[in-house]
Amino acid sequence: MKLAIFDLDGTLVNSLADIAEATNYAMRILGFPEHELSEFNYLVGDGVAKLIERALPVENQDKFDEALSLYNNYYNKNYTVKTYIYDGIEKMLNTLKEKGFELAVASNKTHEFTENVISYYFGDELFTEVFGKSEGNPVKPSPAIVDNIMDKLNISKENTVMIGDTCIDIKTGKNAGIKTIGCLWGFRTLEELVNAGADYIADKPLDIVKYLCE
């Protein structure tokens, strides 16, 4: 293995509380019911558009654009308030880097926010490529974002692994024809990752080093 591609939210950082705050701010301003933090484990994962669609009442989807704008404005100013790096992530990433791995990020988070979060929490040197959702491009589980990273780095499918905490990440890896590692410290369950067909399951971040280097 030469290239490790990571999901962001729920894999590298726990951003759920900040995402929830931004979403509930939009709901509150528009006069709609807010959501419990635990609900966001399944509201997130498919990009911000789906998040807002799911958060809005079914009969109020006409408020989508307004809700999305409110979310983006709030999140842009508050994405570091409660978000934190999971324990063991930095040691795992630095170990892989020392062993010669290329590290990349493939997220369904908006590209601008993905870059901002990575830069703020990890700096600009650790990851060779960072990609989020951009206009006109499909979100995961489409393999497009992963294919783009492999093409840019000229690294084959056989030498690449996709690492994430949801079935979306595992399906992305499967669709791209690469190995996958499911992470248990994120937003979803062991059952979901196993059912999605994860090749490996990591209980803790350093398990990733074990799978890739031993």
- 123 band by pLDDT with thresholds 50, 70 and 90: very high
State percent of the chain over pLDDT 90: 98
Tokens 């807010």 label which residue?
Answer: 34
Mean pLDDT check: name the lowest of 43-47, 61-65, 201-205: 43-47
Q: Among candidates 153, 191, 148, 146, which has minimal Cα distance to 169?
A: 146
Per-residue pLDDT at 46: 92
Per-residue pLDDT at 32: 98
Which residues are registered as beta bridge partners of 84? Answer: 14
pLDDT tens for each residue of 135-154: 888 999 999 999 999 999 99
Q: What's the Rg (C-alpha) of the chain?
A: 17
